[in-house]
Each structure stands twice: as C-alpha cells, then as structure tokens.
Chains A and B, each alone.
Chain A
Amino acid sequence: MRKCSLDTINHVFAEIAAGSALYLPADGTDGKAVYTRWQEGVEWSRALNTVRSPKDFFFPQTENLMEFKTSGKNIEIIDTRDEGEDFVIFGVRACDVKSFDILDRVFLKEPIDSYYASKREHGIIISVACSRPSETCFCKTFGINPAEPAGDISVWQSENELFWQANTEKGEAVLNRLTSVTEEADDSAVVAEKEKIGKIMDKLPLAGLKTDAFGAGKTMDLFESPYWDSLSEACLGCGTCTFVCPTCQCYDIKDFDTGSGVVRFRCWDSCMYSDFTRMSAGQPRLTQRERFRQRFMHKLVYYPENNDGMFSCVGCGRCLAKCPISMNIVKVMKTIGGKEHE
C-alpha cells in the first residue's frame, strides 16, 4: 500500500496525467461535480459524487458508429472508430464501480459490443472509498461496501492522507509510475477508516432497505401489483432517472442525414419515453404506468432473472436526488415489497 498527502494530490495527478489522460470529478460552472479531464488548475471535487454517472466513459450518451457516403450508385461505408488510448478515471465510488459489472454483463455477452469493449479495455479505474455517505445512499442493499471499493486501484481517504492499493495488473502498472510522489504505508489508517465508514453505513436512513420481494422469478407476483397505478401517478415521463442512472443501458440507433451522407449513431434511450422500443405497430407500452413499471421491473426482476440474481441497481441515490417529482426505486421497493421489507 502507498500513501500520499492530500496537499500534494495534484502532484500525483500530474504524474498519472503524464502517462495517460486522467479524468476526475471537478466542480463545474454550476458548482456541481462533473468528470473533467485533469490538467494543471483542475481541482478534485469534494462532492460525494457526480450528477452524471461515469458510465459515459464506456457507453457515451451519443456515439457515432459509422458513416455512409453516396456517390452515384455507390455507397461507401466509413468506419469512424478510433482505436483509442488508455485513460484513467479517478474518484469512482464503490457503487459506480459495481455498475460497470452490470453493464459488462449486457455489452460483453455474445455478441460482444466492440465499441464498449474497446473503451472498457482502455479504461483504468481508480476508486475512492466514501468517507461521508449521503442520506440517499443505499448501496449496502445491493451488497456493495463503500469501504471496500473495487476497481484497478482502491483509494482510502483519511483526514489528510490518501492510501492507494492496487487490485489488478493494470492498477499495479499505474501505481508503479507513482513511486516518486507516494510513499510506502501500512494499513492501520485504512482499517480505522473502514471501521468508521461501517458505523456510518448502519446509521443511514435507508440502511434497512431489503430486496427480498424482488429478484429472479418474481415476474408473475409483481407484474400486476395494484401499486403501479399510484406509484406512477405523478411520473412526468421525463428521462432524468434513466440518464443519471449508472446502470441504465438501453439505447437507440439512428441515422442522421447530413445532406451529403449519413451518420449512424447510437444514443441513450429511456423506457420513460413514449417512443421507446417503438415498432411498426407502435409503442408496446401505451401508458406511463407500463413504462414506469418496465423500468423498475427491469432493474429488480428481469435483469436478475437473466444474470444469476444480480440486481441492476447499485444504490447510488442519483435518481433519489434528481427525480423532478421525487419518485424513485426506494419508494417503489418499499411500497411493492410491503412494509416488512423496509
């Protein structure tokens, strides 16, 4: 394990950035944290987490897949992919690290999504333990421990020091580059920090949230639950929850006519939208109730059904903080799951 002082953190960032592009949460013009490419002058945000999740790095909101050019009767297909270079993301929280596993199971299953796979290969993740979890956090419900974040390198923060631990070969390689700006350390401070985080986790208001009522095989029990009506009553049908969610992975592929050719791109889609999965016969989910149900059933029932019981929510709390009408997965779980599951 290596350590560095919080005061000299920018030296460490400079060292990492000298080798490959470094992204970290920094406060944007609106004062909210956003992943920013580090350069001299960029300060690591003190916010618990970013408004947008780091899934953007591997699965960007819009991504050009290919282009077509026509001349006469010929169509030329242009591959717009670039091979890409290694990049480092610093400051990813335990919940968001877990979200990459969830996305991997979708995109890296045959047929492998080569656009996603290539970015995933090039990305090096440095996670940071959460010293001050928020009231909206409920990662524990999904078996995530914010004191033990995964990733290529895990970092713990004490009062004024950071402790670095490599978990993979990729992480080891990065940490080896940092020998001049970090020093050897024992893990006593980290153990103390983990204990501190553990105590806070028990105090969180959502600490007792249970998943018993959900998971593989619950489709028939929950699909016609009478609660969907009241839960979806106020839903605006906007895409905020899906777009800030680190695990939402639905996308649409569209062609844009540029006047001289076509750009084929994919972009995030939202099950909350009226034209989601629209087919020739129209949208299969006619009302907002059905679209709303789709989102939560997908996260809590359908996805576990197809992925050995793994839920596709990581409890990051972004939808709790951002939903315009404050309806969210916690309220759904408590209502549908019944009082005994609180």
Chain B
Amino acid sequence: MQKITREQLIEKASALLADGTVKQVLGWAKGEFDYDITPAVFESAEELNANFVWSDFCGANFSKYLVSKTRKCDGKILVFLKPCDTYSFNQLLTEHRFDREKVYAVGIPCEGMADIAKIKEICADGIASIDCEGDALKVHTLYDDEPVCVPAADVLAERCVNCKSKKHVAYDELLGEEGEVLDSARFDEVAKLEAMTPDERFAFWQGELSRCIRCNACRNVCPACTCEKCVFDNPNSGVENKSPANSFEEKMFHIIRAFHVAGRCTDCGECSRVCPQHIPLHLLNRKFIKDIDNFYGEYQAGAEEGSRAPLVDYTTEDIEPGEVFDRRDTDA
C-alpha cells in the first residue's frame, strides 16, 4: 500500500498545471486491468482525473522519458520521481542528457512495487481485479474461486525487496516524508554466484542468457542507455544483430551492454522488470557495481550530480587486472 494517494498527486499536478508552472505531466495511465499501467503525458486536470493512477503497479521509471520529452515540449514538464528514480534522474543530469530548467521534479515516497509475475505464480491466470487492502493485495479471479489475499511483501519486485534507498537525491519539491539510504542485501545473489565454480557459473549464465530473444527491451528501457544510435543497431558496425543467431551473440550483447553502463548504472532494476524472458539482468549490473565498490571505493551512480564515474577516472595505485580474481572474495 502506498503512503501517498492518487488524489494528492492529481491535486499537486492540477495546481501546477493551473498556475502555469508546468505544461505537461509525466504520469502513469490506467490500463485494461489493475496492473497494466502505461507511462503517459497529461496536459489537463480532466485528463488526470480520468486516467491518472498511482498504485503498487506504477513501477515505470520516468527519468529516461525526460530526454525525449524535454526536447519536444516548449514548457516545463512535471515528473513524479520515486526515490530510486531520482538516482537515474541525477545520472542523466550528470551526463547532460536533458535540460534541468525544463523539468519540475516532484519526489514521492514509495513503499515498493508489486511484481505481477509473482502474483500470477500464486494465483493462477484469470485475474479480474486487484485491490490494495492495507499490507495485502486482494486478488479476485474470473473463476468462482474465493479471492486470494497475498501479503504485499511476498510479491514485491526483486529490486524493491533489495531496495537500496528510500531517500530522494533530487527534486524540486517533495511530497510526503523523506526516507533513508538503506542497507540492502542486493549483492548477496552476486556473492552466491561468485562462490560457485566457473563451470557452475557458466552453466547458470548459459541457461539464463539462452532464453534471450534480443527484443532489446532491457536496453531501450535503461536510463543509462541513451546513445542516439546503439552499436548493435548500426549495420555498419559489424556487430549489429537483430536476433541471437548464436549463443555467442547473446553473451556479447549482454556483456557489452552491462559494461557500457558500468559505473553509470544506478541499479534501478528496470532491465529485469521489463525482460519478457525473466533473465536476471540486474545480476550483471550488480557485479560491476560490487567490483567497483571493491576495487575503487564505494560509488553509487546518481547519488550526487556531477560526480565522476569510476570508469572515466583512475588512481596510480589501482588494482592490476590479473589480481581481480583473488581480491574479490576477501573484502566486501
């Protein structure tokens, strides 16, 4: 259950639209069901009242949309940012990807988002509606079964289970209470993989990555992937590929993509959320984050606007590439 209500957000947005502070509002629009929510642009209070939603299914991170939307809009855009979204927001600002002057950012608290796939695992298909009741979600099915009550904590998205921060690192205005940076267990899964033998690791990743259908959803949703033309879309690059024609190409795509966002990835978790094949892509990004923390000192991308990313920085005392395998397990 979210602490802030839909009405509060609509009221704030309507007021800012009415006094001319902003021209557009980036928000979540309701779908056919209670869980299929689409990012949308709202331009009036009527539109907001009709279609705006704020619920446990508003996972979409709007930061990346600002890159294209600020170019198109001649006024300011209101954007609602959950704590984790603010890190992406800062990171994009650091990389000068949009004009800060054209954005009015409203920070909103978040109690974690639900993962519809987890709900569907508990309640079979045929979800008629989902109501939020305190700390539980009540799922009604199309069949004459009793509604199923699932604790919201049991169906939290992976990234919310391992939420790294409830603190907003950027905003013009904050609704609700400010939270804290949390101690999360987000690297546990990575450490577990590191503890395996190379053969086991290889088998694990081969199994996961072989499901990839190269739909590029992970790349296109990623707030760190803002290249105007991706190397994998460029027919002249020699590595362009539209499909995983070979198991090598899946690996190359995911290694290169993770590497390209290394040091810039805020661990927002959008890649894993959107993957239609449920590949745990965050485990690649977190490996880089863990290594960077280990080798070059703690660094959280997006925590501070204008910070220097670890891969465009160096010290003369850096670890040698040949030593990384030994150093990994010793300190955390």
Contacts and interface: CB of A to CB of B under 8 A. Distances in A.
Nearest to B141: A135
Contact of B278 (A30, A203, A269): A30
Interface stretch (A13-21, A271-279, A298-306): A271-279
Contacts of A228: none
A135 to B, nearest CB: 5
A62 B249 CA distance: 12
Contact of A268 (B142, B211, B217, B243): B243
Contacts of A254: 242
B215 A205 contact: no
B109 to A, nearest CB: 23
A240 B244 CA distance: 14
Interface residues of B, number: 45
Given A29-B207, A134-B126, A278-B235, A61 B213 contact: yes
B38 A238 contact: no
Interface stretch (A82-90, A139-147, A182-190, A324-332): A324-332
Interface stretch (B29-37, B150-158, B255-263, B315-323): B29-37
A324 B142 contact: no
Contacts of A239: 213-217, 242
A122 interface: no
B242 A135 contact: no
B311 interface: no
A275 B235 contact: yes
B281 interface: no
Interface residues of A, number: 55
Given A61-B243, A275-B235, A234 B142 contact: no
Nearest 5 Cβ contacts at the A-B interface? A324-B274, A267-B243, A326-B36, A134-B125, A238-B217
Interface of A: 28-32, 34, 47-48, 51-52, 61-62, 132-136, 200, 203-206, 230, 233-234, 236-240, 242-244, 252, 254, 256, 265, 267-270, 273-275, 278, 320, 322-328, 330-331
29 contacts: A29-B207, A29-B208, A30-B211, A31-B278, A32-B278, A48-B125, A61-B213, A61-B244, A134-B126, A135-B126, A136-B33, A203-B142, A205-B33, A205-B142, A206-B32, A233-B41, A237-B216, A240-B217, A243-B213, A243-B214, A243-B276, A254-B242, A267-B242, A273-B242, A274-B233, A275-B233, A275-B240, A278-B235, A325-B60
